[in-house]
A and B are shown apart, each in its own frame.
Chain A
Amino acid sequence: MATINPDTAMTMFMGNRMQTMVSAFISLPARLGLLMTGVLLMASAHAGLPIQHWKTASGAEVYFVENHELPILDVEVNFPAGGGRDTRDKAGLSGLTQHMLSQGAAGLSDAEISRRFADFGAILGGEQDQDRAGITLRTLSSQRESAAALELFAKVLQQPEFPESVLEREKARIISGLREAATQPESLADKAFTAALYGDHPYGIANADTPESVAAIRRDDLVAFYQKHYRADGAVIAMMGDISREAAEKVADNLTAGLPKGPRAVMPFPPVSYPTEAKVTRIPHPASQSHILLGYPGMKRGDPDYFPLYVGNYILGGGGFVSRLTEEVREKRGLVYSVYSYFLPLNELGPFQIGLQTKREQADQALKVVKETLAKFIHDGPTAKEMKAAKDNIIGGFPMRIDSNGKILSYLSVIGFYHLPLTYLDDFNKEIAKVTAAQVKDAFARRVKPDQMVTVIVGADAQ
C-alpha cells in the first residue's frame, strides 16, 4: 500500500507490514527515474497554510510557503511535459528529455554537474506522470550553498545540451531496463493495463515506451520537445522553506528567465472515452503469483465528484487495513498480502485501479471476491458507520498530511499545476465533512461500471 500512498514519509522504509530488508531492488526503468511517479489522490493540510502566489515577468506561476524552522530550501519546477505529450513512434521521449536535462548543460558535463551538486550537499530529483514533468532541488538554505545550487539548477533547466554521446548511453540503459521490465510480472501488468484502458489516448502512449520507440529517438527530438514544452509560460514553480519572499521572487525569476521563449504551445488532451464492454487481457508468465489489475477511467483534477469518490475509495480499497477489499480478500480469506484501489486524478480522466497479487491457482477465486466486493459497494453504497470512520480518518489525519517541507512542496506543485484554489487545503476538511453516503453511492454508480472494466491477469493458469 505504500506504493500508492506518496504522501507518507515512510515509503522509503516499508510497505504493508513488511520487513526491512536490503532489497531496494526495483525495476530498472524506475531506477532510472523514468516511469510515472504519479501524484495520487492527495488530501489536505492544516488550516491556514499561507500560500503566496505570483507570476514572474517570464510568465511562470509561483506557489510559495515561507518557513524558517529548518535551514532547507525545496524547489520544484513543473512543466506540462509529462508522458501524455509523447507520440507512439517515439514513446519515452518526454522521460528521456527530462532525464537528460542534468546530463550536460551550459558547458558542464554530466560528471561536473553531479559533482557540483554533491559538493554543495544539494539533491536534484524529478518526477513525471502523464501530465507533468517536475524537477526538484533540495538545498541547504545557507547563502553559499543555496546560491551555488540554485545557479546550477538554473543552468540545468535553461541550458541543457543533450550531448549526443551521453544520449546514446542513456538510451541504451533505458532500453535494457525496458527489456528487463518486459520479463517481470508487475511491469507487464502495468503496461498491459494502460494499453487496455487508454489505447491510443495520450495517457495510453504515456506508458507505451518500448525498446524500439526509445531507439528511434534522436537528439533533435529532445531539442524540439524541450523547446516546445519547457517554456516559462506554463511553468509552475513550487517553493518551500527558509527564504524570504523577496529572495524567492529572485529565485523564480532566475530559474525561468532563460527558458525557451514563446506562448505555451500545449494543447489540451482529448477527452478519455469510456470502454463499452469488458475486456480481459491474459499474459502468460511462470511466476508463482498472478498479478491482477482491474480498472476504469476515473476522475479529473477539480472533478465535481472528487470528494465523494475520494471518501468512497477510502472505504472500498484506499484505507489500508480497514478497507472493504482488504477485509474481504486478505483478512477473511488470506488470499493476498496486498489489495488496494485508487483514483489518480489528472487533467483528463486518470485511472481508477484495483490491484492484487495472489497464488496463481487461486487467481480466479480472488478475482471473484474482488468483483463481488466492488459490485456490492456500488450497488449498496457505504454504511453510515463506514462513512463516519472514513471521515474521522481523513479529517483527523489532516495534520500528518503537511507535517514536513517535502510534503508541502508536493501539494504546492499539484495546487499550482492544476490551478486548484489556493484555499484547497484549507477547505479540504470542510468538503470531506459535507460528503454523504448517498453522494458516494451515486458517484460510484455513475463513474465506475463493473461490467465494462478492463482486467489484466499476468501469470494466470490457462483457461
Chain B
Amino acid sequence: MTKKLFCFLLAILPAAAYADIQEFKLDNGLKVVVQEDHRSPVVVSQVWYRAGSLDEFNGTTGVAHVLEHMMFKGTRRVPAGQFSRIIAAAGGKENAFTATDQTVYFQQLEKSRLELSMKLEADRMANLQLTADEFAKEIKVVMEERRWRTDDKPQSLVYEQLQAAAYQAHPYGRPVIGWMNDLEQMTVQDARDWYKRWYEPNNATLVVVGDVKADEVYRLAKKYFGPLKAHALPVRKLQTEPEQHGMRRVTVKAPAKLPYMIMGYHVPVLKDPEHDWEPYALEILTGLLDGNASARLNQNLVRRDRIAIDVGTGYDMIQRGGVSLFVVDGTPSEGTSVDDLETAILGEIEQVKENGVTEEELQRVKAQVIAADVYQRDSMFYQAMKIGSMETAGLSWRALKDYPARLQAVTADQVQAVARKYLTTDNLTVATLDPQPIDENAPKHKEVPHGHH
C-alpha cells in the first residue's frame, strides 16, 4: 500500500495497445498521432508543445508554466474564461500542465465533440491575446501555486534543492514552477515572447486517443490547424551537465517532524531505442529495488531492519534534455538518523554492485512489466500521455511497441553493470530535510465564537 516516489508499474510502457496507431504530418509541420480505442464513445485530445522549463533562461524561470495559465485568457474570438466554459458546456473536462520538456493542453469529450476541441486549440495556438490586466491577476495565481506546491511543502523544497545541486549547468536544475523572484519580476512581455517563440504548429504534436477514425481526425486537424503558418524556431542549444567529480550535499531546514532525504545519481536517458540497453537496465533496477512491497529496499530497510518508514526509487528514461537522475528517497524511522538511512541505502546499492541480482527477482519484475502493459490499456488518457512524451522527446511512438520486449530482454548482468557504472558516490547528490519545530509555545487550538475575534 505504500505509495512510491514513482510507481514502477506506471513507469513501464506498453506494447499491445500500440497496434492501432497512425501518424500524419500537416504541411505546416504539425504532427498528428491517432490511436483508435473503441471501448467507450469518448475521446481524449492533447496538444503537446515542445516548450518547457528546459527551454527557459535564468531570470525568467517559470515562464513556460505562466504562459500555460495565460492560454486560458482568451483570443479575439474566444474571450478570457470562455475556453473552459465552452468545453464544459460540451460535457468535457479540460486542463493543462507544464513540465521540464513540454506544455500540454488536453480535453476529454464525448467522441462527437472532438471537432470543438480542435477548433479551440487551433485558435489559441495562433491568436492568443496576452493583456497586461489578465497577466497581473494570473501571475498572482501562479505565485499562490508556488507557495502551495513548493514553499510550504518541506519535501518539495528538498526535491527542488536536489535538482538545483545535481544540475549546475543543465536547465533541469531550475524548478518548473520558477523561482519566486523570477515570478515577481515577470512581465506580460516575457509571456508574449515565449508564446511567439514556441507556439507554432511545427513545434507541436496533436495526440488523439479514443473512439474515432484516424482518417477523420486527420481531416479535422487539416481543417483547423492546416491554415496556421509555420515559423522558424530558434536554434535549441541543448546544454549538457559537466561530469560530477565528487559527492554533493545540500540541507533544507523547514517546519516538519520527520527528517527526509533524497539521493540522485546522474544516469543516461533513452536516445536510441533500438540499440541502447542501459536505460532499460536502469528501469529494471528501479523495479528490483522498489517495484513491489517485497522488493529490496522496502523488504530490507522498512520491514526487516526497520530503519526506514518509507523508501522509494525513481527514474525517467524519456527526457528531452538528454540527462536524467536515478533517485532514491526515504524517511528514517524515529530513532534512526538520515545518515544511518543513507548508509543503509548505499549498502543495498553495494549489494547489487557486488553480488548482482537473483533470477527470481528479475522474473518478478518482468511479470509486473507484462501486467502493467495490459493494465495501462484501461486508461486512454495514459496511453495518450505515453505517445506524447515519446514524440516530444524526439523518439517515435513506434518505440513504445518494443518497450516491454526490451525490458524483458534485460539480463541480471546488465542490471549489475549499470549499478556499477552509474551508482557511484562521486556521481551522487544527497539532499536532506532538517526538520524544524513549529512554534511549540503558541496555543494549539484557539476557538473563537463568531463575531468575537
A376-415 Cβ-contact flags toward B at 8 Å (1 or 0): 0000000000000100111111111011111000000000
Greatest chain A CB density within 10 A among B2, B176, B448 is at: B448
Contact partner, A463, options B95, B443, B448, Cβ 8 Å: B448
Residues of B33-60 at the interface with A, using a CB-CB cut-off of 8 Å, are: 39-42
Q: Least Cβ distance of B258 to chain A in Å?
A: 5
- Contact A22-B314, Cβ < 8 Å, known A8-B93, A338-B148: yes
CB pair B2–A9 under 8 Å, yes or no, is no
B279-297 Cβ-contact flags toward A at 8 Å (1 or 0): 0000000000001111100
Q: Does B208 contact A (CB under 8 A)?
A: no
CB pair A173–B375 under 8 Å, yes or no, is no
Tally of chain B residues near chain A (CB < 8 A): 110
CB pair B292–A114 under 8 Å, yes or no, is yes
Q: Does B91 contact A (CB under 8 A)?
A: yes
CB pair A13–B97 under 8 Å, yes or no, is yes
A3-27 Cβ-contact flags toward B at 8 Å (1 or 0): 0000011101110111111111110
Residues of B1-50 at the interface with A, using a CB-CB cut-off of 8 Å, are: 1-7, 9-10, 39-42
Q: Least Cβ distance of A24 to chain B in Å?
A: 6
A404 to B377, CA, bound (A): 9
B434-447 Cβ-contact flags toward A at 8 Å (1 or 0): 01001100111111
Which A positions have Cβ atoms within 8 angstroms of B?
8-10, 12-14, 16-26, 28, 30-33, 46, 69-72, 99, 102, 110-112, 114-115, 117-126, 138, 140, 145, 166, 169, 172-173, 176-177, 179-180, 182-185, 192, 277-289, 319-322, 327, 330-338, 357-359, 389, 392-400, 402-406, 451, 463
- Contact A118-B65, Cβ < 8 Å, known A111-B294, A182-B257, A279-B449: no
CB pair A21–B176 under 8 Å, yes or no, is yes
Give the chain A neighbours of B295 by CB distance below 8 A. 118
CB pair A18–B333 under 8 Å, yes or no, is no
CB pair A336–B141 under 8 Å, yes or no, is yes
B359-384 Cβ-contact flags toward A at 8 Å (1 or 0): 00001100110111011011111100
- Contact A332-B137, Cβ < 8 Å, known A17-B68, A279-B450, A399-B40: yes
A46 to B111, CA, bound (A): 13
CB pair B152–A183 under 8 Å, yes or no, is no
A-B CB pair tally, cutoff 8 Å? 310
Contact partner, B306, options A24, A172, A336, A394, Cβ 8 Å: A172
- Contact A176-B333, Cβ < 8 Å, known A19-B65, A120-B367: yes
Q: A9-B380, A102-B1, A180-B257 are in contact. List 9 more A-B contacts (CB 8 A).
A: A18-B149, A25-B5, A32-B1, A32-B2, A119-B363, A121-B368, A176-B309, A281-B446, A406-B379
Q: 20 interchain pairs (CB within 8 A)?
A: A13-B97, A17-B96, A18-B97, A20-B98, A21-B177, A23-B149, A24-B6, A33-B3, A115-B294, A117-B292, A126-B1, A169-B303, A176-B258, A321-B72, A322-B85, A336-B141, A389-B89, A393-B88, A404-B40, A404-B380
CB pair B453–A176 under 8 Å, yes or no, is no
A8 to B379, CA, bound (A): 10
A115 to B368, CA, bound (A): 11
A50 to B442, CA, bound (A): 57
A289 to B135, CA, bound (A): 21
Greatest chain B CB density within 10 A among A9, A18, A327, A330 is at: A18
Q: Least Cβ distance of A220 to chain B in Å?
A: 23
Q: Least Cβ distance of B21 to chain A in Å?
A: 18
Looking at the complex, which of B153-161, B183-191, B197-205 is the stretch in contact with chain A?
B153-161
Q: Least Cβ distance of B112 to chain A in Å?
A: 10
Q: Does B99 contact A (CB under 8 A)?
A: yes
Q: Does B145 contact A (CB under 8 A)?
A: yes
Give the chain A neighbours of B90 by CB distance below 8 A. 392-393, 396
CB pair A286–B438 under 8 Å, yes or no, is yes
Q: Least Cβ distance of A315 to chain B in Å?
A: 11
Q: Which residue of B lies closest to A116 (CB)?
A: B294
Give the chain A neighbours of B141 by CB distance below 8 A. 330, 334, 336-337
Give the chain A neighbours of B4 by CB distance below 8 A. 24
Q: Least Cβ distance of A190 to chain B in Å?
A: 14
Give the chain B neighbours of A179 by CB distance below 8 A. 257-258, 334
Contact partner, B381, options A10, A185, A279, Cβ 8 Å: A10
CB pair B110–A118 under 8 Å, yes or no, is no
Main SS at interface, chain A: mixed
- Contact A405-B378, Cβ < 8 Å, known A118-B291, A280-B447, A322-B85: yes
Give the chain B neighbours of A177 by CB distance below 8 A. 309
Contact partner, A114, options B140, B293, B329, Cβ 8 Å: B293
Greatest chain B CB density within 10 A among A25, A166, A396 is at: A25
Q: Which residue of B lies closest to A407 (CB)?
A: B378
Q: Which residue of A lies closest to B62 (CB)?
A: A19
CB pair B95–A17 under 8 Å, yes or no, is yes
CB pair A281–B378 under 8 Å, yes or no, is no
Give the chain A neighbours of B175 by CB distance below 8 A. 21
A327 to B141, CA, bound (A): 12
Q: Which residue of A lies closest to B89 (CB)?
A: A392
Q: Does B342 contact A (CB under 8 A)?
A: no
Give 7 nearest A-B pairs by CB, closest first. Answer: A396-B91, A121-B371, A278-B450, A334-B140, A33-B1, A114-B293, A403-B40
A400 to B329, CA, bound (A): 36
Q: Least Cβ distance of B224 to chain A in Å?
A: 21
Contact partner, A22, options B6, B88, B136, Cβ 8 Å: B6
Give the chain B neighbours of A183 by CB distance below 8 A. 255-257, 435, 438
Q: Least Cβ distance of A70 to chain B in Å?
A: 6
Q: Which residue of A lies closest to B151 (CB)?
A: A288
Q: Least Cβ distance of B390 to chain A in Å?
A: 15
Give the chain B neighbours of A145 by CB distance below 8 A. 371
A13 to B84, CA, bound (A): 20
- Contact A25-B159, Cβ < 8 Å, known A123-B9, A277-B450: yes
- Contact A19-B98, Cβ < 8 Å, known A319-B88, A404-B378: yes
Contact partner, A400, options B88, B108, B255, B333, Cβ 8 Å: B108
Contact partner, B256, options A24, A169, A180, A393, Cβ 8 Å: A180
Q: Does B340 contact A (CB under 8 A)?
A: no
Contact partner, B152, options A277, A288, A395, A398, Cβ 8 Å: A288
CB pair B84–A403 under 8 Å, yes or no, is no
Greatest chain A CB density within 10 A among B2, B40, B99 is at: B40
